[in-house]
């Protein structure tokens, strides 16, 4: 890592606010990792190290914590992280078809990222939206009651906005 | 008395989540009364005890009794941790409250804090609920601005601070002590009990853990009184209740009904019946951790006692409906993969047992099953239940043992015919869980 | 038995009413009655994790089996450790523990002392019902001295708790969750603390492997002796494990008054020089090797012809060896004794109280008791001055330390001022050049006798050598042979016999003998009643 990471002043302010909300510093670890995630785009080794040093928490502890949870954006995740709920209620209503369709369209299977780095595909567990199954979470947003057409449209839309974003 | 919806009455309204709307509809009146200096905390606890309100998170523990365990005098701070982790498969009710009616939750929190003498509350919300988090945060900001929260909450002189704390993707953080460890910034490993959270919970201090929906009942209990509340549904587990129906129904959704609504009514009337004109095969009535019911067993009332009597549980009231085309081997594989993926891995029986169950089921679904596997599953379940730090091991074993017992023929057929129908069609429409096996 | 003042709890263990000090866990209390409940994650020196579940027992207070490592005894509690419920619970855990465990015993260093292996004989199912593929987890180096064999890890968290609670270094963590959980370090931050080796000891299985011991020996072939580490003045209690008289491994031995359950890596791995090619293994004179009797004759000849003999002792010599040096010095008139000390190291104290001393001398305290407190101070300066001004012709100097420089630059320079030098040394080195006689010296793990730690604790150190197969006569034997040849000793004694002589003449040791030192040592100040402060050195 050539560049040393550091929080911007406004993130640092949020971090300091966080510390005031808990009786222990360590309790602010999960939310601070969220700050790091949005500031740096992902939680990889340098980001964990930065947070550990900032919070004066042993890096190994942070490593153990980050790998326990599945929802931090791990290093190498594509710009659009498509997380298809694959738990029972969604599976009963065709989540596997959604996955298959995405695989067809993007050429990646769950756990993979497209070569262009744009898309990552994951199967995830129940997202608390079983009444709108099948559904997926794309980055922060829920896409619900999915048909195969919806999946196609979503991918197109993301491709478009990626183009727009790069201009 | 006609049934009145307390959670979902106004959710069609665009501004239902705002403080203005909430106050316009009588919001915060109960909290104001509760926090007035004249109100004794004990009378609030007694009222909640008398109401027979039981926890909506899964275990159904009487809320007032739980509050009563917290030491009255202690030199440690006390905490309220609101369980908004909502990760039990088939459950999506707390999200609705937080997105559409966040002030109802805040009012409940204020009442609980007054009753138990708590100054600091955390809402532990699952990390995936980004929109709900925003809504909650907005509501909290409004409440601070209005002086309802903060150093002098509602002018009571009592400090009440509420902080939203986002999880990061782990079902086990819905288990109350796993949630507390996670809130402390650690891996979400459940804690040994005793000590119980009421005595020694988060940060080593007395802690009340309550589910979102549980707390959201409080303003209503204060409004109508314990007797009237107890009259809603069965006396021992009364109240308005959010039922989540998902899976093979025409109209999946969250339905607010009195406790004790017949399961059939819930499915057929409210959720539009089994979809595509098909027949019912199986229902898991309380989130995927509950024992499964066959179609024949579905004449049961949706309340804590009736479902316990039927050998299952109300749990989180996540009703998952499966139609006649469902292969129960595939359904079980999906559920077992979930628990395997979500076990925190501390306790040997759960860490190893969840993986073993998933592997056996996987083998059966993929045509390599043996008849003796059915007894083996039963035995593995026996060896897991009641031997672990938290109830996740039980939660995995309950669906497993009941599905195998009650839908044996599906398993026999998969074993004899080279796998589940879906597997054979090379079209695993149900088998795909998030945790994959190499 | 608990005395009257400590509150006791009456409870029932396997149908027998028993009594224990209140507040104990079931596991600890049962052990006091000879009922050993198996455990993996429990370690008396660490916080309670309660995760392995092997210690489950049946309780009259709970519908489910309870874990005995965390549940405490209470009046009226009834515990069954061998009932169907208890045995079933244990067997369940055992089976779960084994399903993904590799069948590595034949190649695993832990084999023979593995808690899992032990239990699998007594509680395991005869035949595995698990026919699936076993899980794979990483095998990798965690640090310069330790690797993890992930497939063997049972995630008991003893090692991580050790690094959090005892060393306070927190390099280890559990990564991932469920049955993917395994011990790891942060990328780029290896486990490299002064106590790291203890994690290997406490790993109940062969998941943590010490590079130093990897494939060195099968543990059941090794012999074990209780001994004391010579690395510093703390005097950590250790077990020396040998194969055919050769040290293979040092392990800490529990002593709550000294080292709890731990030892430091410097002490643990600080024995390789015993087998160095530079080891002095036989006596020699200017014209070559001398056999034992000729070396004694030569020694006596020198003594007889020296008007004044001086002795330079080291802080590795045992009290018994020092007693012999003392006697020898006393027998020649006008003798001088001083002592040298190795350079100081860094002291360290760890969160749970474990200490490493800056003083790298296991028996400085003992030498001061035998010779008086000046021996490394004023006496040493006196000796140095006498050497410098050339008033000493003959000097006998000892170096039991690991340094080829012997007593160090300064002393070496002073020593050459004496024209006749008799030097005892563990390793070859420049300081031996020009010596009249060179004798092999025993190093700490080769000595039989006692040391006194910096806390005034008299402890027994034992030799790794096989009795009767000693590579050379150590100081204890040699010095007695000298006395015999001089006519001052009628029969040669063991270390215990010499200690008896010492205790008769040296007040601090009065009333003690080897057998009452026991396995955990005793404080010199705790003299048995009735023993006066008579005698003197
Ligand atoms: C494995 C497991 C997962 C759980 N998940 C949740 C959850 O997501 N939300 C919840 O409110 N309770 C959950 N619970 C129940 C909580 O442990 C606890 O009983 C509840 O939060 C208490 O609040 P209540 O009394 O208001 O229901 C779970 C329990 C277990 C054993
Ligand atoms: S039962 Fe499972 S989830 Fe619960 S603490 Fe034990 S290993 Fe973790
Ligand atoms: S490496 Fe050993 S001590 Fe550490 S958790 Fe694994 S089994 Fe336990
Ligand atoms: S602390 Fe001292 S006595 Fe203990 S092991 Fe280390 S060197 Fe040896
Ligand atoms: S099963 Fe997919 S959101 Fe619940
Ligand atoms: S020894 Fe008691 S749970 Fe591990």
Residue B434 lies in a domain: no
Q: Which of A24, A96, A133 sits opposite B428 (nearest CB)?
A: A96
C456: how many CB neighbours lie within 10 A of its CB?
16
Q: What is the CATH number of the domain that holds B217?
A: 3.40.50.11540
pLDDT at C115: 83
**pLDDT value of position C216:** 83
Q: Which domains does chain A have, with CATH numbers?
A: 9-68 (1.10.10), 80-164 (3.40.30.10)
Whether residue B371 lies inside any domain: the answer is yes
* Residue B9 located in a structural domain: no
pLDDT (mean) for C178-198: 98
Give the predicted TM-score (pTM) of the model: 0.95
Pull the structure tokens for residue B424. Answer: 């054979």
Give a yes or no: residue B7 inside a domain.
Answer: no
Q: Domain of C45: which CATH number?
A: 3.10.20.740
CA distances from C475 to C88, C143, C393, C462 (A): 58, 39, 22, 14
Residue B192 placed within a domain: yes
- Is residue B113 domain-shared with residue B93, that is, in the same domain? yes
Whether C132 sits inside 8 A of B363 (CB atoms) is: yes
B225 plus B273 within the same structural domain: no
Task: Tell whether B170 is within 8 A of chain A (Cβ).
Answer: yes
Least confident of B185-194, B263-272, C101-110, C171-180: C101-110
Q: Whole-angstrom Cα distance, residue A98 to residue A121?
A: 11
On whether both B88 and B111 belong to a single domain, the answer is yes
B256 in the same domain as B189: no
**Same domain for B226 and B174:** yes
Give CA–CA dist A52/B311, Å, rounded.
Answer: 48
Inter-residue contact A71 to A83 (CB < 8 Å): no
Q: Cβ(C31)–Cβ(C45) under 8 Å?
A: no
| pLDDT averaged over 10-residue windows placed end to end, chain A, 167 residues | 83 98 98 98 97 98 98 96 98 97 97 96 98 97 98 97 71
Would an 8 Å CB–CB cutoff place C189 in contact with chain A? Answer: yes
Q: Please count the other Cβ atoms lying within 10 Å of the Cβ belonging to residue A73.
A: 21
Span B89-98, pLDDT tens digits: 999 999 999 9
Token pair 């069948």 is found at C103
Q: Is residue C124 part of a domain?
A: no
- Quote ipTM for the complex: 0.96
Q: How far is C-alpha B382 from the geometric centre of its chain's CA atoms?
A: 24
**Which residue has a Cα nearest atom 4 of ligand 2?**
B390
Q: How far is the CA of B182 from the centre of ligand 6 (A)?
A: 22
Whether the per-residue pLDDT at B281 is higher than 80: the answer is yes
Share above pLDDT 70 across residues of chain C, in percent, rounded to a whole number: 96
The answer to whether residue C171 sits within a structural domain is no
Q: Which residue range is the domain that position C482 belongs to? A: 275-523
Two structure tokens written together for C335: 């003798």
Query: ∠ at Cα C282 (C276, C288), nearest 5°?
Result: 115
Question: B398: domain CATH number?
Answer: 1.20.1440.230
- DSSP label at residue B267: I
Q: Tens of pLDDT along C300-313?
A: 999 999 989 999 99
Q: At which of C69, C97, C125 does a domain end?
A: C97
**B238: Cα separation from own chain's centroid:** 17
Is C468 part of the contact surface with chain A (CB cutoff 8 Å)?
no
Q: What is the pLDDT of residues C459-478, one digit of tens each?
A: 999 999 998 889 999 999 99
- Residues 44-103 on A with a CB inside 8 Å of C are 45, 48-49, 52, 58-64, 67-68
Give pLDDT, residue B340: 98
pLDDT the model gives residue C217: 83
Pair type for strands C56-59 and C78-80: antiparallel
DSSP class of B269: I
> What is the Cα–Cα distance from A121 to A110, expressed in whole angstroms?
5
Verify that B137 and B212 share a domain, yes or no. yes
pLDDT value at position C530?
Answer: 52
Interchain contact B186–A (C-beta under 8 A): yes
**Per-chain mean pLDDT for chain C:** 93
| Rg of chain C over all Cα atoms, to the nearest angstrom | 27
Same domain assignment for residues B404 and B304: no
CA distances to A102, A127, A159 from A150, rounded to whole Å, are: 11, 18, 14
| B182 in a structural domain | yes
Written as six digits, the tokens of B317 are 């009231």
Residues 6+ positions from C498 with CB-CB distance below 8 Å: C320, C323, C324, C449, C476, C480
Q: Are B255 and B7 in contact (CB under 8 A)?
A: no
Indicate the number of domains in chain C. Answer: 2
Kindly state whether residue C445 falls inside one of the protein's structural domains: yes
Atom of ligand 4 nearest to the CA of C231: 7
Contact in structure between C318 and C495 (CB atoms under 8 Å): yes
At residue C206, the 3 state secondary structure works out as coil
What is the C-alpha to C-alpha distance for residues B303 and B237, in angstroms, rounded to an integer? 6
Mean pLDDT of C251-258: 97
Number of separate domains in chain B: 3
Cα gap C400→C321, rounded to integer Å: 12
Token code pair at residue B111: 């009442």
Give me ligand 2 centre to Cα B388, in Å.
6
Mean pLDDT of C272-279: 96
pLDDT greater at residue C266 or residue C120 = C266
Evaluate whether residue C362 is within a structural domain.
yes
Residues B256 and B335 in one domain: no
Interface test with C, best of A44, A57, A63, A64 (most C CBs within 10 A): A64
The pLDDT of residue A1 is 46
Last residue of a domain, one of B202, B230, B258: B230
Q: Cβ distance B237 to B215 under 8 Å?
A: no
Structural domain range at position B392? 328-426
Q: Which one of C43, C64, C97 terminates a domain?
A: C97
Domain closes at, from C59, C82, C97: C97
Q: What is the pLDDT of residues B230-258, one digit of tens each?
A: 999 999 999 999 999 999 999 999 999 99
- State whether B210 and B359 are in the same domain: no
- The contacts of residue B211 (CB under 8 Å, 6+ apart) are B55, B56, B57, B58, B82, B83, B94
Residue at a domain's end among B196, B230, B264: B230
Structure tokens at B254: 């969250």
Which of residues B290, B305, B323 is at a domain's end? Answer: B323
Considering CB atoms only, which of C175, C177, C186 is closest to A59?
C186
Q: Which atom of ligand 6 is nearest to the CA of C56?
A: 2
**Ligand 3 surroundings by CB, under 6 angstroms:** C 148, 153-159, 183, 203-205, 207-208
Interface probe, candidates C155, C187, C190, C351, chain A, greatest A C-beta count within 10 A: C187
C478-522 per-position pLDDT tens digit: 999 999 999 999 999 999 999 999 999 999 999 999 999 999 999
Q: Let me know if residue B2 belongs to a domain.
A: no
Give residue B387's Cα distance to chain centre: 22
Higher pLDDT, residue C459 or C114: C459
Higher pLDDT, C123 or C315: C315
Nearest by CB to B246, from A89, A97, A111: name it: A89
B341 domain-assigned: yes
Joined together, the tokens standing for residue B166 give 């986002």
| A72 → chain B, closest CA residue | B168
Rounded to the nearest 10 degrees, the angle between the axes of helix B93-100 and helix B130-145 is 40
For residues C248 and C241, give the distance between their C-alpha atoms in angstroms, rounded to a whole number: 6
> Does position C230 have pLDDT exceeding 80, yes or no?
yes
Transcribe C310-379 into DSSP letters: EEEE-TTS-HHHHHHHHHHHHHSTT-EEEE--PPP---EE-TTS-EE-S---TTHHHHHHHH-TTTTTHH
Q: List, in order, residues 6 or more apart from B38 with CB less than 8 Å away.
A: none
Chain B within 8 Å of A51 (Cβ-Cβ)? no
């Amino acid at each position: 890592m050539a560049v040393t990471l550091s929080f911007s002043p406004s993130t640092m302010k949020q971090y300091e606010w966080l510390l005031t909300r808990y009786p222990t510093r360590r309790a602010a670890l999960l939310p601070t990792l969220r700050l790091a995630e949005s500031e740096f785009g992902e939680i990889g080794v340098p980001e964990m190290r930065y947070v550990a040093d900032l919070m004066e928490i042993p890096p190994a502890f942070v490593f153990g914590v980050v790998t326990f949870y599945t929802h931090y954006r791990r290093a190498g995740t594509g710009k659009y992280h498509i997380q298809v709920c694959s738990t029972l209620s969604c599976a009963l209503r065709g989540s596997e078809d959604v996955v298959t369709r995405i695989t067809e369209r993007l050429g990646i299977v769950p756990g993979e990222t497209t070569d262009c780095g744009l898309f990552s595909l994951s199967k995830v567990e129940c997202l608390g939206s079983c009444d709108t199954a099948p559904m997926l979470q794309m980055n922060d947003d829920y896409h619900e009651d999915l048909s195969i057409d919806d999946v196609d449209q979503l991918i197109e839309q993301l491709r478009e906005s990626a183009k727009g974003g790069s201009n | 008395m006609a049934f009145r919806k307390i959670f979902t009455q106004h959710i069609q309204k665009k501004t239902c989540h705002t403080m203005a709307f909430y106050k316009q509809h009588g919001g915060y009146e109960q909290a104001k009364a509760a926090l007035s200096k004249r109100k004794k905390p004990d009378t609030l606890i007694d009222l909640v005890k008398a109401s027979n309100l039981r926890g909506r998170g899964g275990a159904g523990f009487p809320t007032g009794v739980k509050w009563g365990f917290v030491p009255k005098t202690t030199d440690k701070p006390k905490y309220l941790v609101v369980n908004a982790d909502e990760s039990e498969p088939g459950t999506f009710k707390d999200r609705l409250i937080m997105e559409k009616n966040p002030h109802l939750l805040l009012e409940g929190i204020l009442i609980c804090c007054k009753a138990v003498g708590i100054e600091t509350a955390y809402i532990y919300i699952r990390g995936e609920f980004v929109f709900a988090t925003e809504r909650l945060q907005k509501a909290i900001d409004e409440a601070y601005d209005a002086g309802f929260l903060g150093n002098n909450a509602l002018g009571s002189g009592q400090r009440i601070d509420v902080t939203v704390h986002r999880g990061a993707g782990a079902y086990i953080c819905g288990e109350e002590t796993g949630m507390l460890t996670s809130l402390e910034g650690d891996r979400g490993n459940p804690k040994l009990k005793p000590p119980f959270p009421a005595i020694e919970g988060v940060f080593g201090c007395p802690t009340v853990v309550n589910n979102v929906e549980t707390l959201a009942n409080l303003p209503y209990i204060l409004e109508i009184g314990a007797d009237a509340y107890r009259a809603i549904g069965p006396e021992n587990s009364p109240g308005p209740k959010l039922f989540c129906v998902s899976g093979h129904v025409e109209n999946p959704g969250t339905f607010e009904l009195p406790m004790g609504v017949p399961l059939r009514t819930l499915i057929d009337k409210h959720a539009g019946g089994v979809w595509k004109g098909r027949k019912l095969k199986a229902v898991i009535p309380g989130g995927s951790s509950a024992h499964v019911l066959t179609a024949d067993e579905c004449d049961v009332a949706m309340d804590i006692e009736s479902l316990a009597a039927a050998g299952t549980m109300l749990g989180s009231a996540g009703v998952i409906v499966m139609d006649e085309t469902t292969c129960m081997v595939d359904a079980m594989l999906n559920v077992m993969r979930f628990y395997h993926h979500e076990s925190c891995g501390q306790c040997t029986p759960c860490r190893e047992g969840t993986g073993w169950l998933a592997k056996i089921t996987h083998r059966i679904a993929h045509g390599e099953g043996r008849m003796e596997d059915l007894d083996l599953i039963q035995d593995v379940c026996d060896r897991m239940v009641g031997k672990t730090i938290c109830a996740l091991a039980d939660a995995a074993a309950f669906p497993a043992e009941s599905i195998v017992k009650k839908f044996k023929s599906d398993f026999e057929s998969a074993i004899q015919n080279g796998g589940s129908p879906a597997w054979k069609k090379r079209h695993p429409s149900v088998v795909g869980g998030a945790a994959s096996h190499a | 038995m608990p005395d009257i003042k400590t509150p006791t709890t009456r409870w029932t263990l396997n149908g027998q009413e028993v009594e224990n000090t209140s507040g104990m866990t079931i596991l600890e209390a049962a052990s006091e009655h000879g009922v050993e409940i198996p455990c993996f994650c429990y370690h008396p020196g660490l916080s309670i994790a309660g995760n392995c579940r092997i210690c489950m027992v049946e309780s009259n207070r709970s519908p489910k089996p309870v874990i005995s490592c965390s549940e405490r005894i209470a009046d009226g509690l009834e515990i069954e450790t061998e009932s169907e419920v208890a045995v079933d619970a244990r067997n369940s855990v055992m089976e779960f523990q084994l399903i993904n465990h590799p069948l590595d015993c034949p190649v695993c260093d832990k084999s023979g002392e593995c808690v899992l292996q032990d239990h699998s004989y007594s509680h395991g199912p005869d035949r595995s019902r698990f026919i699936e593929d076993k899980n794979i987890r990483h095998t990798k180096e965690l640090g310069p001295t330790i690797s993890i064999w992930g497939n063997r890890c049972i995630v008991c968290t003893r090692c991580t708790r050790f690094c959090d609670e005892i060393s306070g270094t927190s390099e280890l963590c559990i990564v991932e969750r469920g049955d993917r959980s395994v011990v790891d370090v942060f990328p780029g931050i290896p486990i490299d603390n002064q106590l790291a080796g203890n994690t290997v000891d406490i790993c109940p299985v062969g998941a943590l492997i010490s590079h130093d011991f990897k494939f060195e020996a099968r543990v059941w072939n090794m012999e074990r002796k209780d001994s004391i580490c010579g690395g510093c003045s703390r005097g950590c209690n250790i077990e020396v494990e040998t194969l055919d008289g050769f040290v293979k491994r040092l392990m800490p031995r529990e002593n709550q008054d000294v080292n709890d359950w731990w030892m430091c890596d410097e002490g643990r791995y600080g024995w390789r020089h015993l087998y160095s090619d530079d080891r002095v293994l036989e006596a020699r004179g200017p014209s070559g090797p001398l056999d034992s009797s000729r070396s004694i004759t030569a020694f006596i000849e020198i003594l007889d012809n020296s008007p004044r003999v001086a002795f330079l002792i080291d802080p590795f010599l045992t009290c018994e060896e020092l007693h012999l040096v003392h006697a020898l010095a006393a027998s020649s008139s006008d003798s001088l004794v001083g002592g040298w000390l190795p350079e100081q190291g860094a002291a360290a104290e760890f969160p749970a109280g474990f200490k490493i001393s800056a003083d790298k001398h296991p028996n400085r305290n003992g030498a001061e008791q035998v010779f008086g407190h000046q021996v490394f101070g004023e006496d040493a300066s006196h000796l140095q001055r006498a050497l410098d001004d050339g008033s000493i012709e003959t000097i006998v100097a000892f170096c039991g330390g690991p340094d080829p420089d012997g007593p160090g630059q300064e002393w070496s320079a002073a020593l050459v001022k004496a024209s006749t030098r008799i030097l005892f040394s563990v390793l070859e080195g420049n300081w031996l050049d020009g010596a009249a006689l060179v004798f092999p010296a025993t190093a700490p793990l080769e000595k039989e006798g006692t040391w006194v730690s910096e806390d005034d604790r008299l402890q027994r150190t034992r030799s790794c050598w096989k009795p009767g197969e000693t590579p050379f006569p150590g100081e204890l034997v040699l010095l007695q042979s000298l006395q015999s040849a001089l006519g001052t000793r009628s029969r040669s004694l063991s270390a215990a016999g010499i200690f008896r002589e010492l205790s008769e003449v040296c007040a601090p040791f009065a009333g003690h003998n080897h057998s009452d030192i026991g396995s955990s040592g005793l404080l010199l100040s705790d003299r048995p009643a009735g023993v006066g402060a008579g005698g003197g050195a």
